[in-house]
Structure 1
Amino acid sequence: MYETITAETDPRGVTTLTLARPEKHNALSPQMMDELTEAADRLGRDPAVRVVVLTGAGDSFCAGGDLGWMRDQMAADGAARAREARRLAEMLARLDALPKPLIGRVQGQVLGGGMGLISVCDVAIGVAPARFGFTETGLGLIPATIGPYVIARMGAAMARRVFMSARIFGAEEAVRLGLLAQAVAPEALDAAVEEEVRPYLACAPGAVAEAKALARRLGPATDDAVIALSIEALVARWDSDEAAEGVGAFFDRRKPRWAE
């Protein structure tokens, strides 16, 4: 059914939704974004699904947006850029609105768009060796479409510590910042995720869905206007000289002109 993700549901109604591009560290390609959007819609409608666990195959959870896709935006026109930015924004919005508990099972690298994915989870558990970072500004880009969900998760004051420095930080700091609920040893990850899953199986599914929807409404706004603002910000940044330099420098395997 899918080529870049897998979705497997156990007899209890717990679906494991896995990013399945391990050779690319599960970077978000256009196809993966579309498949995640479709999966979120399908799982949300399926009454047999009680809980969704989001994880990544291989050594990384998600290393961000596919850099080939980003490079394509440098040569694209404004309409194409807006379409691609909306593709990413729609994926995040559908996962955020999923009417089932969404639990992140996090390992390895979590960079760029991967930070958005853990921010739309209701709770995320990570391994102690994992590494995190909003790496966009190092490429001349900005964490735009993920921004509403990151700010909702961390709060503006916490987010400003790491949102624009491209600094890589560890799992314990991710816990302090509110991105992870806890950091555990790799061998304890599955048990820790199961501890988050199990209580939901004793709850009324409709009540869980309505409680989640209420929490989203009471929290910071991630409505159409906010999402549109994030799309416009990403499209404008793709049009900048800094983005062309930063993405070009990455593929040329050199430092961008602003780097020491």
Structure 2
Amino acid sequence: MTEPELVRYEQPAPGVARIVLARAEKHNSINPQMIFEVNDLFNRALADNGVKVIVLAADGRNFSAGHDIADTCEQYQAAVTASGRQVGHWSDFEAEGTAGWYAAEKEAYFETAKRWRNISKPTICAVQGKCIAGALIFAWVCDIIVASSDAVFSDPVMTFGMPGVEWFGHPWELGPRKAKEFLFTADAWNAEEAHRLGMVNHVVERDALEDFTLAMAKKIATKPAFALKLAKEAVNKTLDIQGQANAMDAAFYIHHLGHSQNFRVFGWGMDPTNVPSLATVPKKPG
């Protein structure tokens, strides 16, 4: 495995691995390279029998600004191909039209999220500052979320003509009515509101975030490894029996119906009408 450039691997305590998003100069915006580097480090932690808990954290003021939309669709698809990784079951990421774009997003956003959600070891996400759109995926796939008091969560993609991010955890994280409000308004909600709704486990002061999260990870790491794995699998399986897995699959199809409509009307996967900055993004024929 090559040394990652956009993420960092640490072992701050016995039994604990820490994966850190390290693209602070770009507010840890997410591109295929970062996604696959995070996946590589999850693999590293998973393969280390001495690691019992994995913390996902980020450098800088903000946890993540979400998807990096600076690249064209073709550049994004090429980056997924160039990564050389295979996480899910899709291929031909540079195919023309819907086929290539669907495959690239399926692999890099959806299949990686599904895999991280099901990693057998407990995971804790530490969130500070802004956690926007695609960054919600990174947080939601973790078992526990600890937020700093200045954390703000949002999924503003409705403004871009999309029904929500690729990993559609909204109804499960917020409940159906609050999920609809979150999506319809595209408002940003603070850590206390996220905690009130049950999306966040704990809210702590910013300067206490790392220590609090590590203390929780160390406490969990004192428990028997096999029992932790069984407990996580039991909870995840309960959600799957309730329909979460099938609902996520269906929502991903709906997500791409939104992309298809936007490509046909605007020549780009998102509606730029209300987002002037998108007007400069190179378009391609619908």
Report the Cα offset of residue 157 of structure 1. 3.2
Cα distance in 2, alignment partners of residues 14 and 143 from structure 1: 33
Report the Cα offset of residue 36 of structure 1. 2.1
The answer as to whether partners of 2:16 and 2:218 remain within 8 angstroms in 1 is no
Segment drifting more, 107-116 vs 183-192: 183-192
Which residues in structure 2 correspond to 1:69-218 (within 5 Å)?
Answer: 69=71, 77-86=97-106, 87-147=108-168, 149-218=169-238
Give the match for residue 251 of structure 1.
Answer: 278
CA gap of 1:68–1:230, structure 2 versus 1, over 3 A, is farther
The answer as to whether partners of 1:144 and 1:230 remain within 8 angstroms in 2 is no
The answer as to whether partners of 2:154 and 2:186 remain within 8 angstroms in 1 is yes
Give the match for residue 54 of structure 2.
Answer: 52
The one-letter code sitting in structure 1 at the alignment partner of 2:211 is: A
Cα distance in 1, alignment partners of residues 232 and 126 from structure 2: 19
Report the Cα offset of residue 163 of structure 1. 2.7
Give the match for residue 44 of structure 2.
Answer: 42
The answer as to whether partners of 1:5 and 1:35 remain within 8 angstroms in 2 is yes
The answer as to whether partners of 2:157 and 2:165 remain within 8 angstroms in 1 is no
The one-letter code sitting in structure 1 at the alignment partner of 2:214 is: E
Note the residue ranges of structure 2 that are not aligned, 5 or more in a row: 78-95, 281-286
Cα distance in 2, alignment partners of residues 159 and 27 from structure 1: 24
The one-letter code sitting in structure 2 at the alignment partner of 1:61 is: F
The answer as to whether partners of 2:134 and 2:165 remain within 8 angstroms in 1 is no
Report the Cα offset of residue 132 of structure 1. 1.3
**Secondary structure of 1:160's match?**
helix
Note the residue ranges of structure 1 that are not aligned, 5 or more in a row: 254-260
Report the Cα offset of residue 71 of structure 1. 5.7
Cα distance in 1, alignment partners of residues 165 and 13 from structure 2: 38
The answer as to whether partners of 1:71 and 1:247 remain within 8 angstroms in 2 is no
Segment drifting more, 137-146 vs 110-119: 137-146
Cα distance in 2, alignment partners of residues 152 and 98 from structure 1: 19
Task: Give the count of matched residue pairs.
Answer: 251
The answer as to whether partners of 1:134 and 1:165 remain within 8 angstroms in 2 is no
Give the TM-score taking structure 1 as reference length.
0.87
Q: Which of 189, 204, 221 lines up with 2:243 in the alignment?
A: 221
CA gap of 1:196–1:161, structure 2 versus 1, over 3 A, is farther
Cα distance in 1, alignment partners of residues 165 and 145 from structure 2: 21
CA gap of 1:233–1:96, structure 2 versus 1, over 3 A, is same
What is the alpha-carbon root mean square deviation over aligned residues? 2.4
